[in-house]
Chain A
Amino acid sequence: MTMFAKLLFVSLTVLASAVTSAQNDDSEQLKITALEALMSAPPQRALPIVTRVLNGNSSTELKERALFVLAQIDVPEAQAMLLDIARSGQNGMRNEAIRMIGIGGDEKSQAELADIYAKGDKTTREAVLEAYMIADNTEAVYQIAVKSTEPSEFESAVQMLGVMGAREELRALRDRPGMAEILIDAYAIAGDVESLTTLANDSSNPERQAQAIRALGVTGEEGVVDVLTTLYRNSTSSDIKEAALEGLMIGDHDEAVLTLFRESKDAAEKRALLQTLIHMDSDAVWDIVDATLENGR
């Protein structure tokens, strides 16, 4: 028997005996160590041991750890067990099992999550969305957004699509009435400069336009500098100018603000631009301060 096999044997022995012993920190830690070691065992040997832990009287923490190990055992029985717990387990265990289904990536199990989502409470629904994010299943999240009846439900799904960078799915939701604010935030998170630029140039709704301009800065993309500076230069609206400046500040584009400062002939505007550079902690500000104090320009 190799050293590792001996270690595994000892660990499993500890696990088997410790399950029935009094709970304390040391024994709990030993059980957790034993669970870790299970990953080295063949699936046929690991599965029954994990099953015994899940069905026994172990602590919730240990059972949740066992779920992670179960998700890493590549046999259909493990997936079936996860699904069973995701459907009928206690709150914490159920949500953890849902997360594990995401990690497992099994398509059939993911399809079952749709039903669990429909019947679930808020926490369960969040767990399902997170599982879809983990599995990179943008279509499933998109379907939840499409079928949502409550604004908060739509918002959660759209936020998740933003996190997943699902630009096409988000664009497909663009016409959803009254949800522009939520969608703009998601476009920003997804880095969808194209959609945001369209909205930033659309003056039919000034409030929405200003939000889209600020969101361009959130994307962190270099390409937005030209869009923001053009909007700043060409707009006659103080709100739009302010939004463009905020976008540049959020995106940390101090060189562009410096250019605008140098271009400006208006004292009040120069003060606002200098203030922005100070807020941005830009190194360029000291040259300007020096030149201003020296020449008054």
Chain B
Amino acid sequence: MNDDTLTLYFYKDGLTPAERRDVQSALDNDAELRERYARITTTLAQFDVTDSAPLPADMLARFHDSIDRAARSEQQRASKLPPQTRWSPFAWGSAVAAALVLGIGIGLFAQRDQVPAPGINTGIVTIYPPAPRATSVAFERGLQVYLRDSQQELSGQPMNTERSAIALQLIRQNRLFERAAEEHNSKDLARVLRAFEPILLRLAADDISEREAEALQAQLAFELKVMLTKLGRNLSEETGPI
């Protein structure tokens, strides 16, 4: 059982009732797991983001609005594209992940100060200044989702006719995360994300050969995977051993 599952169990979020029962049962029967869970709860409790202090209703509404706006914005863009360039389910997942990553500061700030700090309105979501490390962890978790989805998209089926459309949607997502990385003062991550863009732009071009496209796709999939591994390592170091 990994730390992500235990974290979701702690937040009473993202697990089905059956999965929650499995975790509970495992905790009842495994002393080592209980010890690990105790470490996680201690760490998470420091962030002061437990269900004992629910978000104020207006903050929660703003948070949901952020996600809705992101989805509407993407839907609007998609409706202007020809049929073959509509967004795949992957893009929706990443769009929501991006909204979560960018919007997460709202909840954390509300928890901490009850008065939100001034933010930057991007038109899609309002980005708030970096919160404590909890935001950083949340950001990196969201980035992990993005990197994983992108990597799977690139390593899965050959892109063929949808190559340009997929590359363009990856560019949009990539820019959101690059911006979020800047906002969270993760300069190193921002640089890596910026480095993906020229490859994505070349991948989106119509005048490249299939072979060249495959090479770019493979390069990007590799780099995303490496970053995913590095991010996973960093998070493990921050949240304790798995």
Contact = CB atoms under 8 A, between A and B. Distances in A.
A61 B242 CA distance: 33
A36 B226 contact: yes
Contacts of A64: 219
Interface stretch (A65-73, A201-209, A256-264): A65-73
A105 B181 CA distance: 15
A36 B225 CA distance: 7
A68 B191 contact: no
A226 B165 CA distance: 33
Nearest to A73: B230
A133 B195 CA distance: 8
A68 B226 CA distance: 8
A68 B222 contact: yes
Name the prevailing secondary structure of the A interface residues: helix
A236 to B, nearest CB: 35
Contacts of B227: 72
Interface SS, B side: helix
A135 B225 CA distance: 21
Interface residues on A, range: 20 to 34
Given A37-B229, A39-B229, A39-B233, A134 B195 contact: yes
B163 interface: no
A191 interface: no
Interface string A183-202: 00000000000000000000
Given A40-B229, A40-B233, A136 B191 contact: yes
Interface residues of B, number: 21
A135 B190 CA distance: 9
B233 A135 contact: no
Given A68-B223, A69-B226, A134 B187 contact: no
Contacts of B242: 4
A102 interface: yes
Nearest to B188: A105
A64 B225 CA distance: 15
Interface string B189-226: 01110110010000000000000000100110011011
A130 interface: yes
Contacts of A37: 229
A99 interface: yes
Contacts of A116: none
Interface in A130-158: 130, 133-136
Contact of B222 (A65, A103, A105, A134): A65
B242 to A, nearest CB: 8
8 contacts: A4-B242, A32-B222, A35-B226, A39-B233, A61-B215, A68-B223, A99-B195, A103-B191
Interface of B: 187-188, 190-192, 194-195, 198, 215, 218-219, 222-223, 225-227, 229-230, 232-233, 242
Which 8 residue pairs of A and B lie closest in terms of their CB atoms, listed nearest first? A39-B229, A134-B195, A39-B230, A134-B194, A103-B195, A36-B225, A39-B226, A103-B191
Interface of A: 4, 32, 35-37, 39-40, 61, 64-65, 68-69, 72, 99, 102-105, 130, 133-136
